[in-house]
A and B are shown apart, each in its own frame.
Chain A
Amino acid sequence: MPVFVFAEQRDGRLNKTALEALSQGRRVADSTGDRLIACLVGNDISGLAYEIDRYGADQVLLCQDEALSLYHTETYAAVLANIIEKERADLILLGNTSMGKDLAPRVAEKICAGLVSDCIAMELSGEEIRFLRPMYAGKVIAKVRVTTPVKMATLRPNNFSLEEKPGKAQVKAISCELPVPRTKVKEIEVQESGRPELTEAEIIVSGGRGLGKPEGFQLIEEAADALGAAVGASRAVVDAGWRSQQHQVGQTGKVVAPNLYVACGISGAIQHMAGMGTSKCIVAINKDGNANIMEVADLAIEGDLFEVLPEFLKQLQELRYRNP
């Protein structure tokens, strides 16, 4: 079966999760000897087809309309449902992003399809697919079968590897009748920190109660900026009002899986581990050698983070000075 991927874009830019979904879509299509078809929805975005081509798409379905320049659930759902019906798509992958999480279930219900959310792996044998997804905050993994002919899944960000593969994508412009949405996006407020988005970041430096006071985050930010990292926070400090909810990593915050997670002054409550337990490398800096986080860290540094981090910044700078 051909694999359809919703190539999410915002503001004329494809996000990393879209490229991961394309890469995974290509792998699935290769294993079944089928075609990868990207669905690109928006306005004035035809240039993105070239970028999609780098990830091995065989075809790009391009739906452009002024009414699609901003994401609205109802218009985008109409386009995607229309594509699925007209092109007889039976496997559709999206990113498990704020857009994907909003769009996929709306479309799935429209066409009465089974949807696997937050998928972390796919098992293929012949035409059969099983989807793996974490439940109970990652304490258990469910192996899921979709029983409807049309199967949909949203893929966890930062989980499926990126793989460039030159494509030969033909671009096919499509159009469909759009409903008048009953919601209206009045404004998009971008929080400019200059740092990467938590769920997409390669490196995250996170702070917890061990920072002592809100101002302690300055040191976390300095370390994050030196590494080009995103800044995360534990529930305790978000609840205390030191950081906004947007920064919380954990079961009631964001689930992240960076290459490197540096936990500073975080004890590692089960609810925090649920959000970062699949990071490739965990470094913990904590005064308390018995803290939970020290049991799961690849590198556990028992020490005062107010001594360790400044020394880390100093040595990192020296290293970069010697090896520019």
Chain B
Amino acid sequence: MNIVVCIKQTFDTEARITLTEEGHIDERSVLFIVNPYDEYAVEEALRLKEKEGGEVTVVTVGGEKAATALRHCLAMGADHAILVNDPKLKDADSHSYAVVLSKVLKSMDYDLILCGRESIDAATSQVPSRLAELLNLPQINVVSALHIEDGNAQARRDIEGGVEVIDAVLPAVISVQKGINEVRYPSMRLIMRAKKMPVRTLSLEDLSLTSEDVAPLTRIEEYLFPQPRQKGKVLSGEVPEVVSKLIQHLRDEVKVI
């Protein structure tokens, strides 16, 4: 079974967000990681490969440094890596990414496409569904358990207050949720080996795509910073007295009891 995993390189979760003088998100001096949900997708792909055979290819769209994210996936055990890097993708949105990924995928032989349920930076959670539509494939999002048998997928999809158990005919696009597996740490030997593995880099021209094909449908005009929360009252001392003040506050100010 051949599996393609679409990944994104994102800021580390602890990163502070600042703006450049031009008002863009400042990417200098930020630690980059593989988007955590995408790491679960890579792990799931590797487990399926170990069971069923086949190859795992990781694909990303990003700048030169995104190759580091791909190498991390190669070290985990992926077989091939593809990076689409083009300055024309500077203003890319979810639609642009989906168009590029769909074009990469159209030339490949795959049985399953895995993604993370969302990226922790832009967090639109649009790419898997847009990609499925462009490839005319079924989709199952936010999957916390996946079982593959005889060309069919059975997935548990998290919804509000429960789980949908869904069957799909492969190939399909499946986006995964935290909890689906535990991600492996690659050994030093595998990290060293991945450094020597090739990362295939493609431009839009290589994919026969024009700037128009990948034009974003949304534009960010401005970034604003939320008002920081003010420190409130500190209550300490005898428990009954503290609790009495708490109850009074909840009744008179918050009006919830």
Binding site for B on A (CB under 8 A): 15, 73-74, 77, 97-99, 101-102, 104-106, 108-110, 112-118, 130, 132, 134-148, 181-191, 193, 197, 199-200, 202-203, 227, 238, 244-246, 248, 251-253, 259-260, 270-271, 277-278, 280-283, 289, 294-303, 307-308, 311-312, 315-316, 319
Contacts and interface: CB of A to CB of B under 8 A. Distances in A.
Contact of A141 (B154, B169, B223, B251): B223
A181 B138 contact: yes
Nearest to B14: A270
A202 B255 CA distance: 11
B180 to A, nearest CB: 9
Contact of A182 (B134, B138, B141): B138
B130 interface: yes
A319 B257 CA distance: 10
B110 interface: no
Contacts of B124: 105, 115, 117-118
Report, nearest first, the 9 A-B pairs whose CB atoms are least far apart.
Answer: A114-B217, A298-B232, A245-B179, A182-B138, A105-B129, A105-B126, A109-B133, A109-B130, A296-B229
B256 A191 contact: no
A191 B162 CA distance: 5
A202 B239 CA distance: 26
A185 B165 contact: yes
Given A141-B226, A252-B36, A298 B233 contact: yes
Nearest to A135: B122
Contacts of B231: 294-297, 300
Interface stretch (B55-63, B78-86, B197-205, B241-249): B241-249
Contact of B133 (A106, A118, A252, A307): A106
Nearest to B226: A141
Contacts of B70: none
B221 interface: yes
Contact of B13 (A99, A251, A300): A251
B140 interface: yes
Chain B contact-residue range equals 35 or more
A134 B223 CA distance: 10
Contacts of B246: 283, 299, 301, 312
Given A137-B13, A181-B138, A270-B14, A197 B216 contact: no
B95 A114 contact: yes
Contacts of B247: 312, 315-316, 319
A187 B165 contact: yes
Given A109-B134, A197-B160, 15 more contacts: A102-B142, A105-B124, A113-B217, A136-B120, A142-B222, A147-B216, A183-B140, A186-B167, A187-B164, A188-B165, A295-B229, A299-B233, A300-B235, A301-B235, A312-B247
B234 A300 contact: yes
Contacts of A184: 166-168
B177 interface: yes
B139 A73 contact: yes
Interface in B27-56: 36-37
B188 interface: no
Nearest to A116: B218
12 contacts: A73-B129, A106-B130, A109-B134, A136-B17, A143-B220, A144-B218, A144-B219, A183-B168, A186-B165, A186-B166, A188-B163, A296-B229
A143 B95 contact: no
Given A270-B14, A308-B243, A183 B217 contact: no
B123 A135 contact: yes
A294 B234 contact: yes
Contacts of B224: 132, 140-143
A227 B239 contact: no
A315 B249 CA distance: 13
Interface in B114-164: 120-130, 132-134, 137-142, 144, 154, 157-164
Contact of B144 (A97, A115, A186, A245): A245
B9 interface: no
B138 A183 contact: yes
